[in-house]
Amino acid sequence: MVTHSTYIAQDRCLRCGGFMVPEEIREVNQMGWRCVMCGEHIDPLILEHRRQMATPEGARQLIAKREKAKLN
């Protein structure tokens, strides 16, 4: 799992280049990051999913989980 300290060195938004500020995510009791310009949210789960989507096998697994959840 990617931790938020991995992203702490990145103080600029990857989407727009805006300034990223720490933000508490109360639902999961973690810290994430939010861009003050465009509102982009980054947290450990988002980073992990993006990492998995970078590989074909990881993408298939995430899509399969999503489809299974829709059926329930």
39-67 per-position pLDDT tens digit: 999 998 888 888 888 888 877 887 888 78
Q: Which two tokens stand for residue 38?
A: 């465009």
Beta strands per DSSP E along 1-72: 20-25, 30-35, 41-42
Domain ranges of the chain: 4-71
Mean pLDDT value across the chain: 81
| Cα distance between residue 23 and residue 39, in whole Å | 11
Whether residue 32 contacts residue 41, with contact meaning beta carbons closer than 8 Å, is answered with yes
**Is-above-0.85 flag for pTM?**
no
